[in-house]
Amino acid sequence: MAHDSIFRVLEDGTPRAEVSDALTRLGYSLRKTWPGNDESAYEEAWATPDEGSAVNYAEDPITLANYVAIRGATPDLVLMKVADLLPTLAPEEVIEALMTATSDDAQVRGLYRLAVTFPELDDTAKEIFEQFSTNAPEERLRDAAVNAIGYRAWPELIPLLEHVEARDPSDAVRASARRILPALRRVAEQRARK
């Protein structure tokens, strides 16, 4: 099985049974379930009979997002089929929802959804995380941006987190950056060895 993965956040309120029904209709079988708790996601692993394609469904208490991760030789094709049956949010919709959010709660949620949506950091996501982690007036938003960066462990953002650790006016935000930086450095080292 190829290692390419596509992540899509589901619209709020999408029932677990609807996900199960959609994946069953697409020929996937449930292979394993992890029950989750307050700190780890409820997750289901689904696969085709030949195991050439897999879909993981997660309800993540950290990001407050329910999403699917699609793996296999043709994840784009599978995504099109999944999106025909389930209400998924395209990357542009995730970005728009974050940028038009008017409450701190919605912005925090949007930052985490952005991290889920982009396993590989792209330029737009990078710019948004830079703006929120350094320029958001609310400590909570800067901290959420830093923690969302840590959720994905993008080593490209080590300089940004070093800046936050050194200069943010909040002890809590600086502490979050300090806590996350070692994980990003490990990822950078692992990539350098490949």
pTM above 0.85, yes or no: yes
**Residues 6+ away with beta carbon under 8 Å from 145:** 111, 129, 132, 133, 136
Domain-terminating residue out of 47, 67, 89: 89
Owning domain of residue 27? 5-89
CB 26 within 8 Å of CB 68 = no
Residues 75 and 107 in one domain: no
In this prediction, residue 2 carries a pLDDT of: 39
**Which residue is associated with the tokens 């300089």?**
159
In this prediction, residue 109 carries a pLDDT of: 95
29-67 in b/e form (b: 16+ CB < 10 A) is eeeeeeeeeeeebbbbbbbbeeeebbbbbbbbeebebbb
Give the tokens for residue 127: 């710019």
Residues 76 and 100 in one domain: no
Full pLDDT tens readout for the chain, 194 residues: 334 789 999 999 999 999 999 999 999 999 999 999 988 999 999 999 999 999 999 999 988 899 999 999 899 999 999 999 999 999 999 999 999 999 999 999 999 999 999 989 999 999 999 999 999 999 999 999 999 999 999 999 999 999 999 999 999 999 999 999 999 999 999 989 88
Q: How many structural domains are present in the chain?
A: 2
3 SS3 class: coil
Domain-terminating residue out of 89, 108, 138: 89
Domain-terminating residue out of 65, 89, 113: 89
